[in-house]
């Protein structure tokens, strides 16, 4: 233990990868995430059709494994004869982009407000936290409809709207963590040594916030994906001709009884994304918590020893 002072980053990275592989659900989640990102990122290269191409002769074609389906449209076509697979690949771009941008913006707002409230305390804290309370208690969907009504729907609107309704959870987490961290002896020591507040925050407090924020923002990302889908489904989100999974579920709704694949496949894409991110987030949470990580290590070891004994 004493001799590993100088960190061997390379070795640590490979062992981290091995740790991920040994946790089957997390490994599957991570693999799915990579797959989804690659597929959507290279959608223009992979997709067999332009997602907007209409083909009225092949309207509402079923997926390939059903009678009447063809290999041309593997997942079938919609009411205008557009290829469902291509739409899902392209739609993922919008969905994931909105998810990513919103998470980053909401995180940034939340961290700044949380640090401000938690570090300054007193009146600033009371005011900021009351704002959070008000915003949390205000029905989110109502606020979204309100903003969309004022500035009109679209992708930018979605990002703004979802950021505005999602930063509070970060602010609360950061505030409470900062408040407890300020009581830790080494932060007190830093203040008494004569560190200016900026140094105390950036050198001594912020690094401790990264693990919980990482886990939270990964989980929040799935919430954003779901929210985007919901709002687009309601018709206030992404507008045609842009494509998103939620929008496709919404337009497919009218054909639910004659062409279930229009709803099912974008729906599965949403569910799969959310599920894989959750599996991965759980692993990140355990890995960034030294105690939990130690326990997982011991559990795995015990399981391996039991298996060794029985065989």
Judged by beta carbon, residue 34 or residue 298, the one nearer another protein is 298
Question: How distant, in Å, are the alpha carbons of 104, 121, 182, 192, 200 from that of 197?
Answer: 25, 13, 11, 11, 5
From the CB of 3, what's the least distance to another protein, in Å?
8
From the CB of 110, what's the least distance to another protein, in Å?
22
Q: Which residues bind another protein (CB under 8 A)?
A: 1-2, 4-6, 184-186, 188-196, 199, 203-204, 207-208, 293-295, 297-299, 301-302
From the CB of 78, what's the least distance to another protein, in Å?
51
Find out whether 238 and 158 touch, Cβ atoms under 8 Å: yes
Judged by beta carbon, residue 42 or residue 297, the one nearer another protein is 297
From the CB of 21, what's the least distance to another protein, in Å?
16
From the CB of 204, what's the least distance to another protein, in Å?
6
From the CB of 137, what's the least distance to another protein, in Å?
23
Judged by beta carbon, residue 6 or residue 45, the one nearer another protein is 6
Judged by beta carbon, residue 130 or residue 295, the one nearer another protein is 295
Cα Rg of the chain, angstroms: 24
Judged by beta carbon, residue 9 or residue 57, the one nearer another protein is 9
Greatest alpha-carbon span in the chain: 77
Instruction: Spell out the SS3 assignment of the chain.
Output: CHHHCCCCHHHHHHHHHHHHHHCHHHHHHHHHHHHHHHHHHCHHHHCCCCCCCCCHHHCCCCCCCCCCCECCECCCECCCCCEHHHHHHHHHHHHHHHHHHHHHHHHHHHHHHHHHHHHHCHHHHHHHHHHHHHHHHCCHHHHHHHHHHHHCCCHHHHHHHHHHHHCHHHHHHHHHHHHHHHCCHHHHHHHHHCCCHHHHHHHHHHHHHHHHHHHHHHHHHHHHHHHHHHHHHHCCCCCCCCCCHHHHHHHHHHHCCCCCHHHHHHHHHHHHHHHHHHHHHHHHHHHHCHHHHHHHHHHHHHHHHHHHHHC
Judged by beta carbon, residue 21 or residue 141, the one nearer another protein is 21
From the CB of 187, what's the least distance to another protein, in Å?
8
From the CB of 209, what's the least distance to another protein, in Å?
12
């Amino acid at each position: 233990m004493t001799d590993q002072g100088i960190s061997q980053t390379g070795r640590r990275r490979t062992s981290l990868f091995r740790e991920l592989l040994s946790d089957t659900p997390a490994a599957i989640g991570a693999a799915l995430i990579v797959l989804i990102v690659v597929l959507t990122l290279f959608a223009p290269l992979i997709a067999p059709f332009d997602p907007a191409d209409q083909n009225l002769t092949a309207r509402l074609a079923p997926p390939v494994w059903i009678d009447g389906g063809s290999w041309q449209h593997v997942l079938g076509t919609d009411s205008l004869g557009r290829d469902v697979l291509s739409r899902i690949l392209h739609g993922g771009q919008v969905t994931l982009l909105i998810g990513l941008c919103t998470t980053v913006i909401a995180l940034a707002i939340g961290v700044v407000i949380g640090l401000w409230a938690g570090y300054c305390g007193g009146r600033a804290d009371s005011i900021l936290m009351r704002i959070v309370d008000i915003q949390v208690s205000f029905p989110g969907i109502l606020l979204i409809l309100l903003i969309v009504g004022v500035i009109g729907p679209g992708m930018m609107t979605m990002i703004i709207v979802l950021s505005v309704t999602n930063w509070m959870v970060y602010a609360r987490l950061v505030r409470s963590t900062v408040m407890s961290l300020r009581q830790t002896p080494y932060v007190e020591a830093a203040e008494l040594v004569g560190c200016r507040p900026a140094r105390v925050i950036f050198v001594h407090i912020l690094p401790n916030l990264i693990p919980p924020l990482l886990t939270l923002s990964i989980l929040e990302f799935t919430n954003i994906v779901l929210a985007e889908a919901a709002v687009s489904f309601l018709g206030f989100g992404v507008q045609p001709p842009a494509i998103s999974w939620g929008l496709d579920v919404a337009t497919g709704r009218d054909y639910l009884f004659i062409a279930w694949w229009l709803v099912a496949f974008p729906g599965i894409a949403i569910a799969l994304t959310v599920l894989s991110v959750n599996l991965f987030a759980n692993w990140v949470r355990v890995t960034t918590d030294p105690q939990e990580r130690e326990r997982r290590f011991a559990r795995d070891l015990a399981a391996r020893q039991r298996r060794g004994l029985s065989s």
